[in-house]
């Protein structure tokens, strides 16, 4: 007998922001682990690249990075402005012709058996195309929301068979925007399965990284692009009167990496530098405390790693409520001023607050988040 033709899964994403890509890769890995490497054909569709030249420019990783680096206030203002229902609908209408045409061709040409969205840009267009083709309700569509609290209207499309969120706040917002409660499921944001596996003790991991096994270890990062005042945070740590070492993940911020590399001898503490790396799961497990902006993916990865954090900033718009949530849940602190961070770290160490934060992380984390998400999606699509 001939082997059955593998089912095909479409993943809709953009490269603007590392969290969407990380969630996609995590889901894909989990599905392969659950069903086998060859059980499905996995096709990744960068929706910013198929929506026409203007959309491709506006939604590109370069434009996103520049906006956050040079015009964060303007970015946040536009993000909120276009969350007003009338303006959201207007933007969808402008965005749909090119994007819808491309999606229609892809769906007709390749007949996907399941479509998973990890970015909201194409959600409404996808529903319109499937409706026009008579496939809405026949081809399963799943929305995996990669934000923690602030959910833009682009995400919440009632016609999706399932919308997966990470917090009660996100679930309530989706319902407020029109999604049926039965179609919104609280599981979490998928993380690389490596965050969920067992590791040797921190000392052993540090030795493998060329670090002291016994020193208190601080990890500093700013997402895939290396956003935030990372250099200032490293400099400020010179005033910390503890025996410690520092790991910095500069991401794609080559200038930051080169500057810190050239000034290594100026710091009184050992400094280990990484650029863009796939070894974040191991690095987080080796650390005792994380300093980072409040990116949703970073926060859920820290929770999975039981790594207490100091939130050092946020992207205006979608990340604004996260520092407050971090403090409310007891998994970390918020401090945007690098000079004040040293004081916070001293207090956390002396009052043994870090252990309390770890307990709070164990209380709220879902240790099976990625495989549970993948399993729920597969059960819906291929029951």
Q: Over the chain (383 residues), what is each successive 10-residue block's mean pLDDT?
A: 79 87 96 95 93 72 78 87 90 90 97 97 96 97 96 95 97 97 97 95 97 97 84 94 94 93 94 95 98 94 97 91 96 93 92 94 96 97 85
Range of the domain at 91: 7-188+368-381
Same domain, 65 and 177: yes
Per-residue model confidence (pLDDT) at position 372: 98
Residue 109 CB-density burial (10 A; 0-12 exposed, 13-18 middle, 19+ buried)? exposed
For residues 252 and 16, what is the distance between their CA atoms, to the nearest angstrom? 13
Residue 287 belongs to a domain with what CATH number?
Answer: 3.40.50.2000
* Residues linked to residue 270 through DSSP beta bridges, in sequence order: none
Instruction: Give the CB-side neighbour count of residue 2, counting CA atoms within 13 A.
Output: 3
2 occurs within a structural domain: no
Same domain, 359 and 372: no
* Residues linked to residue 217 through DSSP beta bridges, in sequence order: 245
Under 8 Å CB-to-CB from 326, ≥6 apart: which residues?
Answer: 294, 299, 309, 311, 332, 333, 334
For residues 308 and 299, what is the distance between their CA atoms, to the nearest angstrom? 9
DSSP 187: -
229 occurs within a structural domain: yes
Same domain, 278 and 351: yes
Per-residue model confidence (pLDDT) at position 71: 80
Same domain, 348 and 230: yes
Same domain, 221 and 261: yes
- Indicate the SS3 state at residue 236: helix
User: What region does 84 belong to: left with phi over 0, alpha with psi -120 to 50, or beta?
Assistant: beta
12 occurs within a structural domain: yes
Q: How far is CA 138 from CA 51, 69, 115, 246, in A?
A: 24, 43, 11, 52
89 occurs within a structural domain: yes
For residues 254 and 211, what is the distance between their CA atoms, to the nearest angstrom? 23
Same domain, 232 and 172: no
**Are the CB atoms for 237 and 270 separated by under 8 Å?**
no
Q: How far is CA 16 from CA 62, 63, 102, 126, 221, in A?
A: 8, 8, 19, 19, 18
Same domain, 209 and 350: yes
Per-residue model confidence (pLDDT) at position 322: 96
Same domain, 15 and 107: yes
* Total domains in the fold of the chain: 2
Kindly give the residue spans of alpha helices, DSSP state H, lying in 263-352: 280-286, 296-305, 322-328, 338-350
Same domain, 183 and 214: no
Same domain, 204 and 183: no
**Are the CB atoms for 235 and 338 separated by under 8 Å?**
yes
* Residues linked to residue 12 through DSSP beta bridges, in sequence order: 45, 117
> How many other CB atoms sit within 10 Å of the CB of residue 50?
18
- Angle of the 296-305 helix axis to the 353-364 helix axis, nearest 10: 100
Same domain, 299 and 208: yes
1 occurs within a structural domain: no
Same domain, 26 and 111: yes
């Amino acid at each position: 007998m001939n082997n059955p033709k593998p089912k095909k899964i479409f993943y809709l994403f953009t490269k603007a922001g590392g969290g969407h890509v990380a969630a996609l890769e995590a889901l894909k890995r989990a599905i392969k682990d659950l069903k086998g490497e060859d059980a499905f054909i996995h096709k990744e569709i960068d929706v910013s690249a198929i929506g026409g030249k203007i959309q491709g420019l506006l939604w590109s990783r370069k434009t996103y990075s520049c906006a956050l680096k040079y015009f964060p206030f303007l970015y946040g203002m536009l993000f909120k402005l276009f969350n007003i229902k009338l303006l959201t609908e207007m933007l969808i209408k402008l965005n749909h012709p090119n994007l819808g045409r491309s999606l229609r061709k892809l769906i007709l040409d390749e007949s996907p058996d399941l479509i998973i969205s990890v970015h909201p840009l194409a959600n409404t267009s996808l529903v319109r195309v499937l409706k026009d083709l008579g496939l809405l309700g026949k081809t399963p569509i799943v929305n995996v929301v990669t934000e923690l609290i602030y959910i833009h209207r682009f995400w919440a499309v009632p016609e999706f068979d399932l919308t997966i969120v990470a917090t009660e706040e996100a679930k309530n917002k989706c319902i407020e925007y029109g999604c049926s409660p039965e179609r919104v499921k609280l599981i979490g944001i998928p993380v690389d399965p490596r965050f969920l596996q067992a590791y040797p003790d921190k000392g052993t991991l540090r030795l493998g990284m060329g670090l002291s096994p016994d020193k208190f270890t601080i990890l500093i990062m700013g997402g895939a692009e290396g956003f935030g005042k990372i250099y200032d945070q490293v400099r400020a740590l010179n005033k910390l009167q503890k025996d410690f070492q520092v790991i910095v993940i500069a991401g794609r911020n080559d200038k930051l990496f080169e500057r810190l590399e050239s000034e290594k001898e100026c710091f009184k503490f050992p400094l280990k530098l990484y650029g863009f790396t796939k070894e974040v799961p191991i690095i987080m497990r080796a650390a005792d405390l994380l300093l980072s902006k409040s990116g949703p993916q970073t926060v859920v990865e820290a929770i999975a790693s039981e790594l207490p954090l100091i939130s050092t900033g946020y992207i205006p718009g979608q990340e604004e409520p996260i520092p407050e949530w971090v403090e409310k849940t007891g998994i970390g602190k918020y401090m945007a001023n690098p000079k004040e961070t040293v004081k916070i770290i001293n207090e956390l160490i002396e009052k043994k607050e870090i252990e309390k934060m770890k307990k709070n992380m164990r209380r709220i984390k879902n240790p099976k988040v990625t495989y549970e998400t993948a399993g729920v999606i597969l059960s819906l699509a291929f029951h």
